[in-house]
Structure 1
Amino acid sequence: MVPAPKQIENIGAEIAILWPDGHESYLPHEYLREKSPSADNMGEVDILGQRHGGDGPKFFPGVRVVGWEKVGNYAVCFHFSDGHSTGLYSWPYLRQIDAERQ
């Protein structure tokens, strides 16, 4: 289980996340938008494994994070300048996409 971050801040064009284990994540706004786990962005998989909707990650040049809100103690929902705000970024997912960038 990945514990909730100690702090989330918007620094320039990145979201900075301080984790309880001392790790720091710096995730660019455009990257967060591209990796949105929403059905709108990624589609949904049915019980037969077929994907419906969403055409996968895209590039979103110039998109900014304009706000966010914690969802319970398991995720954060980012609000983007293009109006997108339906992806729930769980703590494990944020650590995963951070590791993918390195």
Structure 2
Amino acid sequence: MRPLDIQPIGNELAIKWEDGTESFISLEKLRRHCPCAGCKGEMDVMGNVYKAPDQPLNARAFQLLRIANVGSYAIQPVWADGHATGLYTFDYLRKVSQAD
């Protein structure tokens, strides 16, 4: 499912989906669900996940500077602490919006 519109509003990311539903994801939740290899780790061909130690996140880690579109399948948030390697596919973004 594709989003029709994505807008940061206060401390949330508002998403209007093509099925007419809307999602609101807190920026903290969005950052904590970052799918990049540095945050979630990388898997080798044997299925082993290698992950760097968790980095402490300060207030700037949850401040969104901008969102870049990646093709027609993902967004790439740029955070105030300089982190910008997470590619959130639209399917993954939808899952994050529905997660507790």
Q: Same fold (TM over 0.5)?
A: yes
Corresponding letter in the other structure for 1:67: R
How big is the shift at 1:53? 2.2
The alignment of Structure 1 onto Structure 2 pairs a total of residues equal to 98
Cα displacement string for residues 41-99 of structure 1 (whole angstroms, at most 9, x for unaligned residues): 0000111111112347x774522111011100000000111111101000100111111
1:43 aligns with 2:41: yes
Aligned mates of 1:61, 1:79 — CA distance in 2: 15
1:9 maps to which residue?
A: 7
Aligned mates of 1:55, 1:16 — CA distance in 2: 31
Which residues in structure 2 correspond to 1:12-91 (within 5 Å)?
12-55=10-53, 60=57, 62=59, 63-91=62-90
Aligned mates of 1:61, 1:97 — CA distance in 2: 21
Structure 2 length normalisation: TM-score? 0.89
Q: Percent identity?
A: 36
Aligned-residue CA RMSD in angstroms? Answer: 1.6
- Report if the CA contact (8 A) 1:67-1:79 is conserved: yes
- Where has structure 1 moved over 2 Å in runs of 4 or more? 53-56, 58-62
Cα displacement string for residues 10-68 of structure 1 (whole angstroms, at most 9, x for unaligned residues): 10000100001011111111111100000010000111111112347x77452211101
Structure 2 residue runs without a partner (length 5+): none
Q: Secondary structure at the match of 2:47?
A: coil
The structure-2 alpha-carbon separation of the partners of 1:66 and 1:10, relative to structure 1 and needing over 3 Å to count, comes to: same
